[in-house]
Amino acid sequence: MNKKKQGFNPYLPSWEYTPDVEPYVFNNRVYTYGSHDRFNGYAYCLNDYVCWSAPEDDLSDWRYEGVILKATDVEGNADRDSCLYAPDVTQGPDGRYYLYYVDSKRSIVSVAVSDTPAGYYNFHGYVRYKDGTIYGTREGDEPQFDPAVLTEGDKTYLYTGFCGKGDKSRSGAWATVLDSDMLTIIEDPVIVAPSEPYSKGTGFEGFEFFEAPSIRKHNDTYYFVYSSISMHELCYATSKHPTKGFTYRGVIVSNCDLHIDTYKPANKPMFYGANNHGSIVCIKDQWYIFYHRHTNGTNYSRQACMEKITILPDGTIPQVEMTSCGSNNGPLRGSGEYATYIACNLFCDEESMYTDFTGAWMDNQFPKITQDGRDGDEEIGYIQNMKESATAGFKYFDFKDTKLVKIRTRGYAKGEFEVRTSWDGPVLGTIPIAFSNVWKDYDCNISIPDGVNSLYFTYRGSGSASFASFTLE
């Protein structure tokens, strides 16, 4: 049997929390840049910027490149009171790599530079007008947030913005043009996507700009990727010009799988979503969307995922499902042991599109992906609070002659796990479990149809179980 390493979602180790990812291919490697959450953190982006990379022909082989910028390197931030929000990187006309970022205490765009994609990045300056005024501080400027950059020739296009629903003080996503020094504005900022109060008649209604701008170019078309006012979805708009004429086109991915009707009703959430941030990239002639999901029952421990996408001849991108196999070249093998942190569906009878906004997490109403130990400990993730009706889904596997399913659980629980190949399909087998303070294995004989299928586990019984892994034989 082919035992080549497989790719999963999330594509990085389960103890790494790097959301807001901007992916790029430099020198035949895929580099990802994002903010850096903390496991069990109390706020967004508490850790330093790090970089991970993989060979473009093996997206299962990710390498930690180390810290590329410390929060304490931000001016006046020796006490780390200011966090490093979502960054972006571009290669300048001089061949060097430029990191654009906004820290949480100042609404201005900082720039750092490195000779290599993986850093270390050293402070270069602040984005500014020709007279030296820092962008974001001039009268009429709106606060800077989530910079995105694209360099063409001697010009770099910069996109920024954050616009909460109903906030009339924020107009939308702004675009401007920088000179070859990567700092100086040479064209006045303009709006490229409206905020919710200013969207009437624009075509963006219901999918207005919220945050997370990102910019890419495919052929002669610019793709502006962003998070809408619903937060959980990454939308896109296109134009033939980098700073004007953008038309709303659709949703690329939702981190609760809303709108998707291929395997469930379109309005049924299948994961606990919240804010989203990412972008598209072409790797070996295949396009991907990078995005993030939420873990640990909070907004503050996010992990990056990726899915294959298709750009159709008319420029549209059909929305894709969240999967467990996004970085794999096709479905996962229908044999072997799999950790449950790769679940792409997680829900129970009490539906929720969002993580902790309902307050329900405080009383353990919902199942959640978590880990033991502290931030930085290399502890493999698992699902906690598999209570009555809790369902974990995994997509997709290529099954062949699978006759036994084994699960590993622990906790104050007495009941059984039902096994299905669709979230609402017939039960193919049940696996009884019992109370245990340590991880224990349970199994059942089962006949899973050959071919590409999903796998769903639903707990029925008293108490709640932690669910570490399952094995297919």
User: Do the beta carbons of residue 355 and residue 361 sit within 8 Å?
Assistant: yes
Catalytic site residue 20?
yes
Find out whether 81 and 148 touch, Cβ atoms under 8 Å.
no
Q: Are strands 233-239 and 332-333 parallel, antiparallel or unpaired?
A: unpaired
Active-site entry in 37, 48, 211, 307 = 211
Note whether 470 and 457 are within 8 A (CB): yes
Dihedral of alpha carbons 122, 128, 131, 133, sign: negative
Cβ atoms 397, 472 nearer than 8 A: yes
Residues marked as catalytic: 20, 211
